[in-house]
Amino acid sequence: AMRLILVLGDQLTETLSALRHADPATDLVVMAEVMAEGRYVPHHPQKIALVLSAMRHFAQTLRGAGWRVAYSRLDDPDNSQSIPGELLRRAAATGATAVIATTPGEWRLIHALEATPLRVTLLPDDRFLCSASEFAAWAEGRKQLRMEFFYREMRRKTGLMMEGDSPAGGQWNFDHDNRKPAKPDLLRPRPPRFAPDAVTDEVLALVETRFPGHFGRLRPFGWGVTRADALAALDHFASHALPRFGDEQDAMLQDDPTLSHALISPYLNLGLLTPLEVCQRVSAEWQAGRVPVNAAEGFIRQIIGWREFVRGIYFLQGPDYTARNTLGHDRALPPLYWGANTKMNCLSRAVGQTGDMAYAHHIQRLMVTGNFALLAGVDPARVHEWYLAVYIDAFEWVEAPNTIGMSQWADGGVVGSKPYVSSGAYIDRMSDYCGGCAYRVKEKSGPDACPFNLLYWHFLTRHRDRFAGNPRMAQMYRTWDKMDAAHRTRVLAEGDAFLARLSAGDPV
């Protein structure tokens, strides 16, 4: 009998487990553009356009490969506008009662599929290197889950950059080489842009009319929407930007939003590229002597280490993960995150580029927007919704552990042993933001003092009971305690006043 084969918008891989288990002669592929997915957080228009256009292209690819595809367009009059609704509609039309799906990367959708009256088989998503059960076995009995140890297992498992049982270059991790600032360089290669084709143009017009008012610019739209585009983006990165990836990984420049980053996360997360092929390409560049070991190792660690690790955490921690709030933070998300004016140049730039291109690199997300939200005590659920909405690559399995865990420490240390907080000095060292800022990064108090300098100590003081005993933070408390008492009082009072202005919606 005919079965329905569900292919979601981030499952655009021809070797997807659901497709491998299906028979093109009898089964029907179901793909659906639905309002429910476009709106449950206010996604950036470029992200919606990317997903819809990539889905439409992928449906063509499947048809070309001999599949029958029932494709629901967003503006089809009969569209029920939800994934379970579309499955039910296709089931009623065809008489099918069984659905095969690859497990979605989000608890919300898993639960929605399980709740349909259809017989749904959820297959593991084996596009990842580490399965949920393998991760659970690795985590079993460990007091703390540390990415570094998980990563070494993944290196052994894949054999990437290994010489026998030892890591190539004699070290697992070359991160100490990857903490350099960068200088503006007009010759730095720019990531490729892909001109919209007719399918994308149609989608852009649709997004413009159906999702007005979402934060972010829709045009110019330059993301790749097919596997061929994604491979071209990978090739461009590996041939041009990769050699400097390591050195520039943590740097921020206000006129160069992408530096030597890969900009391939959306393609990986949609399934247009697989993690192993990306890492094999990077490893081959290193083997051929074209890129230094710190660049290749650092990059591969992000993919087979961090990316797989956070996915393992998401499924291990369970559906309530996004509601965690260990530090009890409850501030509303300040309007500056949606583009309201701020005098803080680093935030204004990071948010501005996010609106323009739906992209910011890791250190901008972690040490500018994330750091500020954590220091200011913003409710982590609101921070999570923001990151899920505004970035081109944001899907809950990867976004939530990065936001709730790594960035906001709301999971109480599952992802990170200590919170990622810093004063303005870190931002000043790693970027060129501070020179153009109305605040003075060197001033520790007073009307011109950089707000990060005030809030850093304010945060540490608020959470002293929790963190003073952490060996990796004890030094900061000792530094604070040695400061002049009057200075400490002033810093805390000015921090209070800054937060009060933030709450009142006054310009900051």
Residues at the site binding ligand FAD, with contacts judged by CB under 6 A = 261-265, 268-269, 299, 302-303, 306-307, 310, 361-362, 365-366, 370, 387, 391, 393-394, 398-399, 402-403, 406-407
Query: What character string, x for contact with ligand SF4 (CB under 6 A) and - otherwise, covers 327-366?
Result: -----------------xxx--------------------
- 422 makes contact with ligand SF4 (CB under 6 A): no
Least Å distance between CB 428 and ligand SF4? 6
Q: In this structure, are residues 130 and 154 in contact, taking their beta carbons and an 8 Å threshold?
A: yes
Task: Among 439, 456, 459, 467, indicate the residue that binds ligand SF4 (CB under 6 A).
Answer: 439
Q: Largest Cα–Cα distance of the chain, in whole Å? A: 79
- 455 makes contact with ligand SF4 (CB under 6 A): no
Closer CB to ligand FAD, 339 or 416, in the complex: 416
Question: Measured between alpha carbons, how far apart are the two ends of the chain, in Å?
Answer: 63
- 433 makes contact with ligand SF4 (CB under 6 A): yes
Size of the site for ligand SF4 (CB under 6 A): 14
How far out from the chain centre does Cα 392 lie?
Answer: 8
Closer CB to ligand FAD, 362 or 440, in the complex: 362
Q: In this structure, are residues 28 and 5 in contact, taking their beta carbons and an 8 Å threshold?
A: yes
Which H/E stretch holds residue 120? strand 119-123
**Nearest one of 38, 41, 43, 40 to 358, comparing CA atoms:** 43
State the Cα–Cα distance between residues 324 and 411, nearest whole angstrom. Answer: 6
The entry of ligand FAD, ligand SF4, none that residue 452 binds, CB within 5 to 8 Å by partner kind: ligand SF4
Which H/E stretch holds residue 487? helix 485-504
Q: Which residue is listed with tokens 């660690």?
A: 301
Q: In this structure, are residues 45 and 357 in contact, taking their beta carbons and an 8 Å threshold?
A: no
The entry of ligand SF4, ligand FAD, none that residue 120 binds, CB within 5 to 8 Å by partner kind: none
Q: In this structure, are residues 253 and 432 in contact, taking their beta carbons and an 8 Å threshold?
A: yes
Task: Among 273, 424, 444, 494, indicate the residue that binds ligand SF4 (CB under 6 A).
Answer: 424
CA–CA distances in Å: residue 353 to residues 232, 253, 338: 23, 11, 12
- 449 makes contact with ligand SF4 (CB under 6 A): no
Q: In this structure, are residues 359 and 44 in contact, taking their beta carbons and an 8 Å threshold?
A: no
The entry of ligand FAD, ligand SF4, none that residue 433 binds, CB within 5 to 8 Å by partner kind: ligand SF4
Task: Among 451, 456, 495, 498, indicate the residue that binds ligand SF4 (CB under 6 A).
Answer: 451
Q: Which residues bind ligand SF4 (CB under 6 A)?
A: 344-346, 424, 427-428, 433-434, 437, 439, 441, 450-452
